[in-house]
Amino acid sequence: MFFAQVLTLFPEFFDSPLSCSIPKRAIADGAVSVDCIQIRDFATGKHQNVDDAPYGGGPGMLMKVEPVVAAIAEARKRQPNTHVVMLTPTGNKFTQAKALEYIEKDSVTLLCGRYEGFDERIVDYVDEELSLGDYVLSGGEPAAMCVLDAMIRLLPDVLGSPESAVLDSFTEDGMLDWPHYTRPEVFDGKAVPKVLLSGDHAKIQAWREEQARLRSLKRKASK
Ligand code: SAM
Give 14-34 pLDDT, tens digit per residue: 999 999 999 999 999 999 999
Instruction: Say how far apart CA 191 and CA 15 lie, in whole Å.
Output: 41
Residue 10 CA, ligand 1 centroid: distance in Å? 15
| Band of residue 157 on the pLDDT scale cut at 50, 70, 90 | very high
Give 63-76 pLDDT, tens digit per residue: 999 999 999 999 99
Give 35-55 pLDDT, tens digit per residue: 999 999 999 999 999 999 999
Compute the residue count for the chain: 223
Other CB atoms within 10 Å distance of the CB of residue 200? 12
Mutation test residue for ligand 1: of 88, 119, 130, the one with most atoms within 8 Å of CB: 88
Residue 165 has pLDDT above 90, yes or no: no
Q: What is the pLDDT at residue 147?
A: 98
Q: What is the pLDDT at residue 177?
A: 96
Q: Is the CB–ligand 1 distance for residue 89 below 6 Å?
A: yes
Mutation test residue for ligand 1: of 39, 61, 87, the one with most atoms within 8 Å of CB: 87
Give 114-129 pLDDT, tens digit per residue: 999 999 999 999 999 9
Q: What is the pLDDT at residue 220?
A: 87
Residue 162 has pLDDT above 90, yes or no: no
When the pLDDT of each residue in the chain is averaged and rounded to a whole number, the result is: 96
Q: What is the pLDDT at residue 163?
A: 76
Domains, the chain: 2-152 (3.40.1280.10), 175-222 (1.10.1270.20)
- The DSSP result for 132-148, as a single string, is SSSS--SSHHHHHHHHH
Handedness of CA 179, 185, 189, 193 (dihedral sign): positive
